[in-house]
Structure 1
Amino acid sequence: MSEQIFALGQTKELESTAFTFAERVSYLKQFGAHSQSFSTLQEGMQYFDAPGLGYVAYMRKWGCTFVLSDPVCAPENFGEILEQFHKRYPNASYIQVSKAVVDFMHLRFGLYGTQCGSESRIDLGKWSLSGKKKQILRTALNQAEKCGITVQERYSDDHTREISEAWIRTRKCKSNEIRFLIRPMEMEYSENERRFYAYQDGKAVGFVYFDPIYRNNEIISYVPNISRANADFRQGVFYTLMAHAMEAFKAEGVPYLDLGLIPLSLDSTTEHQESPLLKRILHGLYNRGNSIYNFKGLEFTKSRFRGDNFKTYCCHKRGIPVWEFLVMFKLTQVL
C-alpha cells in the first residue's frame, strides 16, 4: 500500500491552468467528499487547478501557505496533484486532511502528519432517537416542545444577523467570525446549502446551515457548518434543529450526516508519522485551553449523536510549527 501511494508521485509535471468557477463547481460535485470540500469555495481562497484532475484550495498569509481539506479530486489522484502543488509550495501546511493525504506527504516528502482532531459521521439509515445514550437529545427535544419551539426549513430570516451577533458576543473569541476553518455565514456560492430555523412565538431563536457533501454528482451527506442560537434560550435548540434536519435528510434518502471537525479530540496513542511533542502540546491545549475555545463542550455536544468517529490531521514540515500555527490563528481570526 505504501509503495502504491509513493508511486502516485512519480508522474510527469502538470500544468496548472486556472479553472472557471463553473469548472471548479463541477469538480466539487464529482469529488467533494470531504466535510470541508464545500468550504473550499469560500471567498478569499486561492487555487491550484490541475486540468483533468481537480484542484487544491489554500490561503496565504505572511509568507505561509495553508491548504484546506483534501484535494478536490479522485482519491487515486491525490498523489499526482499533491506532488505538483508541493513543488510550488514546498513549505505549505495542510489543515484537516485525511490519512490518505498524510501517508502520501509523509512517505514522499517526509512531512509530519499529526492528528488535530476528529470527525464524526452518522448513518442516517440506522438513525433514531431511541436508546439510553441519546437521553440528552430526547430531553432537549421535550424541553423545546414545551417552550413552543418549532423548526422550519427556509433560505433566510430577518433575525439571522441579530442572532449571530448576539451569539458571537457570548463566545470566548468575540472579535470576528472565524474564517478559513469555518466558511463565512454568507457565501456568494450557496447551491444546495440547507438552512433550518427554530422559532418561538413567531421569532427565530436559532438556526443551522448545512453544506452538501458530494460523490459522483450526488449528495451523500450534509455537514452543519454554521450554527447559532439566541443566548437567552438554552433549552437544546441545536439538538432540536439537528434532529429535525436529520429526519428530513433521512426521508429524502440522503445516506449520511457528518458532524464536521471536533478540534483537539485526539487519540491517546501517537502514530509513527506524528510529531510526539506537538501531540503532547495539543493534548495539553485540550485540557487547559478551554478559556480560549470550548473544546470539551463541542466534543460533548457532538458525541451525543453517537456517530462513527475518525481522525483528521494536519501535515507540517517542522516538528513544532510554532510560527505556522501563530500565522494560522491570525488567518482564521482566532487571534
Structure 2
Amino acid sequence: MLNLNANKEKLKMQTNLFSGGQKFFEDALAKLNNFEFNECITLLNEARSIDPALANINFFREIAISCKNSGLNPQSTHVEIADIWQELKARQLELGGASQACVEMLRLFSYRLRELDPFDSKGLLPGCDYFLHESACLLHLKNFQAAHDLLIDALDQHGENIPARYWGYLGDAAFAQQNFFEANSAYVKLLAANPFDIDWATLKNKALRTLFTEITANFSIKMAYAHLPYRAWSEGIIEIHSGNIFIAELLKKFDDSFEQNNFYDKARNTHIFSLYVFAEQARTRADLMPERRARMKELNPELFQEYLQRIA
C-alpha cells in the first residue's frame, strides 16, 4: 500500500511538472505574438528545463532569436515589420521555397501588423480572413504601384474569387494613386464580399474609418461591421455602378438558400440586406425583382423602411 501511494505521489509530481512546462510554453507563445522576444526566450528555456520532451520549443526559440536579432521589439512600427517581411520573402525566393520557420515568421508578422491597429486589435471577428498578402507590406512601405501590380497579377491568376481582403488592398493601392474609380470598385467588392475583412492599418479611404467609428457609437463591433456596407452607400462614400456582375453573382447564392437563412443572426442578415441594396442599385428599374424587396424587409425591417425613404 505504501508503494502504491508513493507511486501516486510520484505520478502527481510528474504531472504537475509537465503541466507547468506546458504553461511556460503557452505563455512564451503569447510573448512571441506580442514581440516580447527576450521574455519569450526565457519562458521557453524554463519550459525546456521542466519538460525537455515538449515539442517545438527549439523551433519557436529560434524564431524568437531571429526576430530579436532583426531588431524587432514591441515598439516596432508597421513599416519596420513590413520591411523585415519583405526581406523574408526575398530570402524565400533565394532558397527556392519557404522553410517552416520562415512560414511561421510570416504568420507572426501578419498577426502583428493587424493588431497594431486599434480596430483590428479588438480581436479576430467571425468571418474574418486573417491572411496577409505581400501587397499589404508594400502598402505599409508606400510602394503603391508595386502593390497594385501584385494584386492585378493575383486577379489574373485566380479571377475574382480572391479573399475579400485583397479587394481592400487593391482599393488602397488605387486610392493612393488617385485612381478613385478603380478604388471605389474594389472597396465595393470588399464590403459586399466580407466587410469584416477590412485591414484598417492599410486603409486609405479615411471616410470609411470615420464612418465605422460613428457606427460603433451605437452598435457592437460585430454589428458595426455588418452595417458598414449599407451606411457607406447611403452616406455616398461608395457608389454602386449599374451592371455590377460581381454583386449579382455574390447575391445569387443567398437567393438560392434564402429559405434556409438563419434569421437570428442579425449581423449576417444586415450584411445580406446590404447586398440586396447593392444589387438593386446596380440594376435598371425595369430589372427590379419584387421578391427581393420582400426578402429585404424580412432581413432588416428598420433598414428596409429607411432605404425606401431614401430612394423615394
TM-score, normalized by length of structure 2? Answer: 0.25
Bigger RCO of structures 1 and 2 (CA < 8 A, at least 6 apart): 1
> Rg: which structure is higher?
2
TM-score by length of 1: 0.24
